A and B are shown apart, each in its own frame.
Chain A
Amino acid sequence: MKILVPVRRVPNPDVKVRLMKDGSGIDTEGVNFLLNPFDEFAIEQAAQIVESSEGEVVLVSVGGADCEETLRAGLAVGGTRGWLVETDATLDSADVATLLAAVYKEESPDLVIAGKQSVDTDNNQAAQMLAAKLGLPQACFAYKVELGDGKATVEREIDGGLEVKEVDLPAVITADLRLNQPRYAALPQIMKAKRKEIKKSSPAELGVELASRTKVLGLIEPEARAAGQIVGSVDELVEKLKNEAKVL
């Protein structure tokens, strides 16, 4: 079985988000990047499936040259080979989906497993758009995945319980954080990952002309929360809640 796993390079979510001075975007100067944590669950799931049957896990990333490092990180924990669609353009979810669809057509995998969202923009769109573009069934936020005869049974956590979906393969599945426990890489795996094949293409080589339909007009920081007050008595509290906060 061949499984395609899109992976994304994201700014370290532990670093405080700071805006560019002109509000045109997020300031990533001096911020380190890492493999999107949700993608680790997707890679792990794909690796487990391939280990129990046969096949390969193809990791694909869209972005700048630095994404090669991110792909290598994924290749150390279960990826068989990588594909980098190299572009420095600012991409929206639809662009990413278009590029992934082009790679899908070249690879013809049996299954796509993606992280449920990338933790930078948190859009949670690309995988669903990919399924739509390819006319494939989708099962998102997987908690458990079981493969059967040309089908996948996917349990997903919803408010109040679990929902079970059955989709025909090929399909697009997105991984939630309780899907599995991503493995650690043994040292030889890291060394091996450095020699694994990574194919590089430009969007043009895939026949895709990027025409972003989303434009960020500006970003502003949320207003700082006002400081609390210490009141002297219950009467004063009630008075303030009534007249100042106007909640009573």
Chain B
Amino acid sequence: MSQLHKPVEEDIRELRDRLHPSRVLFGPETCERYARDESTRLYNLPCAVAIVENNEQVSTVLRWASEGGFGVVVRGAGTGVAGGAVPIAGEVVLSLEKLDRIIEIDEENLTATCQPGVITADLQEEVERRGLFYPPDPASADVSTIGGNVAVGAGGARAVKYGVTRDYVTGMTVVLADGEIVEMGGKNVKDATGYHLMQLMMGSEGTLGVITSVTVRLLPLPTRQTSLLVSFPDIEQAALSVSEIIRRRIIPAAAEFIDEVAIEAASKHLGRDLPSQEKAGAYVFILLDGESGEELQLQMEQISEIVEANGALDVLGAEDRGQQARLWESRKVVGDAMKGLSPQIGKADVVVPRGHVATLVKEVKKLALELDLSIACFGHAGDGNVHVNILRRTLGDEEWDNLLPLAFAGVMAIVKRLGGRPSGEHGIGVLKKDELVDFVGTRAHEIMKGVRKVFDPKGILNPGKVT
């Protein structure tokens, strides 16, 4: 990476002149909200924030940065948890929050094209009104943006049946580091035209280019859905049940779980007791969707048999949308609820082959006992993606600083042994760079760095992140 410079006042003035004075924020108060993300552990003020509204303005910012050798951090809603959108050394933040228009919903080609700052849930609602379906649903969908989802390779609960963001993008517009605008992919269902650069952009976390429009494919909206909440005495039984459901060829739209620490957090957050709370060590949440009520009812009965054979305490269900939302409430609030138990959290977003989830949680719980730490496991039992939250609770600085790396290393060792990966859907950012090298190996890491150099020879895009 060539030498980067920190922009001085004159450089910022130059950027303001080229863009428009109102588009560049630089006061500490206004930059404050661009200095952090949802990782709870990072804080770094940008030297300025550029708020752009079209491709040309993105080009302008990148040309300015290229010429001067200034680092640029691309940012959507800032809901990432690996630090990908947080500056590390006072770089300029390029905020895409105002690029927030849905450009087109093409009902003939079953695609939607939108700007990167569109909130994921808004896109979902818009297509659902037309009887169409954009399945990826990261837990943050109500606040996170499509651009951020694509850049980080976001997943979500419906990955079990429908896959992740990566599986739905068919085209994008990218502004390269030198300001040139390139189209990748399109609306085509098939595409065997050389290397898929677009695939590289997904999960690039702002290191290869700036995504300024995204085209995704859509499905017909399933008309019926049913939810189940099953409580178990312990998390291992819960995970085994989910494996058994999938082994029996029932593929729910979502199969999630939360452990006893997460149940405690959710109950505290919601201010009420949850189902069978005194006996429950874990909840499993299942969403079934489809076209026929009979089919869903049959699946519901089969699942009920399976979970009861695996020691379920309670099997609750809902068909009405409002009652379903109530059933899912404790799962939905878990991310926020954790902060109520512990102001600081070490978040690992590991993924293992889905048949190994039970082993993973068992070993993580053992590790927690060994280290005498509070560790919560929750997430996507159906696709093997487990959020391991290491809670500081009331630990003192020294204890926390000693224990956190030990816990992380322990979790990663378990994941590696099970053939998993250090990140299922949160990305690498700045917090998981060591794990990246460790898991992909030196050679693959070299190739990644080489790819990055081709896209961004001066290394101005999101310096210090990912590779």
**A184 contact set on B, CB distance < 8 A:** 229, 275, 316-318, 323, 326-327
Contact between B319 and A30 (Cβ–Cβ < 8 Å)? no
Q: Beta-carbon contacts of B275-290 to A below 8 Å, as 1s and 0s?
A: 1000000000000000
Closest residue of chain A to B131, judged by CB?
A30
Contact between A77 and B315 (Cβ–Cβ < 8 Å)? no
Contact between B130 and A187 (Cβ–Cβ < 8 Å)? no
Contact between B321 and A33 (Cβ–Cβ < 8 Å)? yes
A149 at the interface (CB under 8 A from B): no
Shortest distance from the beta carbon of A244 to any chain B beta carbon, whole Å: 17
Question: How many chain B residues touch the partner (CB < 8 A)?
Answer: 28
User: Which residues in chain A, 137-163, are within 8 Å of chain B measured between CB atoms?
Assistant: none
Shortest distance from the beta carbon of A183 to any chain B beta carbon, whole Å: 9
Contact between A186 and B319 (Cβ–Cβ < 8 Å)? no
User: Which residues in chain A, 179-194, are within 8 Å of chain B measured between CB atoms?
Assistant: 181-182, 184-187, 190-191, 194
Closest residue of chain A to B322, judged by CB?
A34
B128 partner, pick from A30, A73, A187, A230, beta carbons under 8 A: A30
User: Which residues in chain A, 184-217, are within 8 Å of chain B measured between CB atoms?
Assistant: 184-187, 190-191, 194
Closest residue of chain A to B30, judged by CB?
A230
Closest residue of chain B to A10, judged by CB?
B322
A31 at the interface (CB under 8 A from B): yes
A221 at the interface (CB under 8 A from B): no
A128 at the interface (CB under 8 A from B): no
Closest residue of chain A to B315, judged by CB?
A187
**A181 contact set on B, CB distance < 8 A:** 272
C-alpha spacing A31/B129, complex, angstroms: 6
**A18 contact set on B, CB distance < 8 A:** 129
C-alpha spacing A111/B440, complex, angstroms: 68
Closest residue of chain A to B323, judged by CB?
A73
Given A12-B321, A32-B321, A34-B320, A186:B125 Cβ within 8 A: no
B228 at the interface (CB under 8 A from A): yes
User: Which residues in chain B, 298-341, are within 8 Å of chain A measured between CB atoms?
Assistant: 300-301, 304, 314-323, 325-327
Shortest distance from the beta carbon of A5 to any chain B beta carbon, whole Å: 15
Given A16-B125, A187-B300, A37:B316 Cβ within 8 A: no
What class of interface size applies to chain A in its complex with B? 20 to 34
C-alpha spacing A32/B289, complex, angstroms: 14
Q: Beta-carbon contacts of B211-242 to A below 8 Å, as 1s and 0s?
A: 00000000000000000110000000000000
Contact between B316 and A73 (Cβ–Cβ < 8 Å)? no
Contact between B322 and A187 (Cβ–Cβ < 8 Å)? no
Shortest distance from the beta carbon of A112 to any chain B beta carbon, whole Å: 22
B319 partner, pick from A15, A16, A37, A69, beta carbons under 8 A: A69
C-alpha spacing A69/B128, complex, angstroms: 20
Shortest distance from the beta carbon of B14 to any chain A beta carbon, whole Å: 20
**B128 contact set on A, CB distance < 8 A:** 30
C-alpha spacing A30/B321, complex, angstroms: 14
Contact between A185 and B321 (Cβ–Cβ < 8 Å)? no
Contact between A185 and B326 (Cβ–Cβ < 8 Å)? no
Q: Beta-carbon contacts of A15-26 to B below 8 Å, as 1s and 0s?
A: 110100000000
C-alpha spacing A166/B378, complex, angstroms: 48
C-alpha spacing A130/B128, complex, angstroms: 37
B316 partner, pick from A29, A72, A186, A194, beta carbons under 8 A: A186
Shortest distance from the beta carbon of A122 to any chain B beta carbon, whole Å: 16
C-alpha spacing A40/B316, complex, angstroms: 16
C-alpha spacing A76/B30, complex, angstroms: 51
**B327 contact set on A, CB distance < 8 A:** 184
**A12 contact set on B, CB distance < 8 A:** 321-322
Contact between B323 and A185 (Cβ–Cβ < 8 Å)? yes
**A73 contact set on B, CB distance < 8 A:** 318-320, 322-323
Closest residue of chain A to B121, judged by CB?
A14
C-alpha spacing A225/B228, complex, angstroms: 41
C-alpha spacing A36/B219, complex, angstroms: 29
**A47 contact set on B, CB distance < 8 A:** none
Shortest distance from the beta carbon of B290 to any chain A beta carbon, whole Å: 15
B275, B314, B321, B327 interface centre (most CB from chain A within 10 Å): B321
Contact between A34 and B321 (Cβ–Cβ < 8 Å)? yes
User: Which residues in chain A, 47-66, are within 8 Å of chain B measured between CB atoms?
Assistant: none
Given A15-B125, A16-B125, A190-B317, A35:B228 Cβ within 8 A: no
**B229 contact set on A, CB distance < 8 A:** 184
Contact between B320 and A70 (Cβ–Cβ < 8 Å)? yes
Q: Can you list 26 A-B contacts (CB < 8 A)?
A: A12-B322, A15-B125, A30-B128, A30-B131, A31-B129, A34-B321, A34-B323, A34-B325, A35-B320, A35-B322, A37-B322, A69-B320, A70-B320, A76-B319, A181-B272, A182-B326, A184-B318, A184-B327, A185-B316, A186-B316, A187-B300, A190-B318, A190-B319, A191-B297, A191-B301, A230-B30
Binding site for A on B (CB under 8 A): 22, 30, 125, 128-131, 228-229, 272, 275, 297, 300-301, 304, 314-323, 325-327
In the complex, besides A73-B319, A184-B316, 17 extra interface pairs with C-beta distance below 8 angstroms are: A12-B321, A34-B321, A34-B323, A35-B320, A40-B322, A40-B323, A70-B320, A76-B317, A76-B323, A184-B323, A184-B326, A185-B316, A185-B318, A186-B314, A187-B300, A187-B315, A191-B297
Closest 6 CB pairs of A and B: A73-B320, A30-B129, A34-B322, A34-B321, A184-B316, A187-B315
